Chains A and B, each alone.
Chain A
Amino acid sequence: AQSVTQPDIHITVSEGASLELRCNYSYGATPYLFWYVQSPGQGLQLLLKYFSGDTLVQGIKGFEAEFKRSQSSFNLRKPSVHWSDAAEYFCAVGTSNNNDMRFGAGTRLTVKP
């Protein structure tokens, strides 16, 4: 079965600084990869996804992610973080063979003024 690892439990960045959240996946074929954001007390919102084509994908709220097959990674980036970006971020992997998406443990982002 597919799996996801998010190595960083908690990251703190200053407002206006750049951000990179790491995600590594394990799956034998080409995966479908996703990033979700969860604000406190809310459900998960889809930021962006990759399943084929251009390995650099753009999402909502100014986020982007790059799929690197050689590194089994799908890191999320944002050039300038806003205070409203403070939230929990989840990387997820799905496949074409089933409807079972697996989530990483999440990375909590804190934004300092």
Chain B
Amino acid sequence: DTAVSQTPKYLVTQMGNDKSIKCEQNLGHDTMYWYKQDSKKFLKIMFSYNNKELIINETVPNRFSPKSPDKAHLNLHINSLELGDSAVYFCASSPREAGPYGYTFGSGTRLTVV
């Protein structure tokens, strides 16, 4: 019944590895997002996809590559992981126009790079 689900919940990996985080929503929303929350709880948008099309790509290293096979899924692949990538990554979704509706968030993926 979970509206926005992310896997895995925890991810511990070594520097230089490549990893993926998966996100799925069953709300029928058109738009999905990835946010990064740092150790000070600051939330920063990374990517936004609308109907499988990239619409926002903030200043994020190109080691991060989002992939949206359909509008219900938005995965995040990270190459050559670095210590600074350690954070909590949140997936979220919203109807087409995010303004009046707000987002529904997943429960987050805590990535630890050692």
Contact segment of B14-22, B43-51, B64-72, B78-86? B43-51
> When A49-B100, A95-B99, A100-B56 are in contact, do A44 and B45 touch as well, CB less than 8 Å?
no
Would A94 and B99 count as touching, CB distance under 8 A? yes
How many chain A residues touch the partner (CB < 8 A)?
A: 26
The A-B contact count (CB < 8 A) is 69
Contact present for A88 and B108 (CB under 8 Å): no
List which B89-114 residues lie within 8 A (CB) of chain A.
90, 92, 94, 97-108
Residues A42 and B99 in contact, CB atoms below 8 Å apart: no
Task: Check if A99 sits within 8 Å of B50, measured CB to CB.
Answer: yes
Instruction: Report whether A101 and B100 are in contact in the complex, using a CB–CB cutoff of 8 Å.
Output: no
Extra contacts, 14 of them, besides A98-B55, A99-B97 (Cβ < 8 A), are: A36-B105, A38-B41, A42-B108, A44-B92, A45-B105, A46-B103, A49-B102, A51-B99, A51-B100, A96-B100, A99-B50, A101-B45, A101-B103, A106-B42
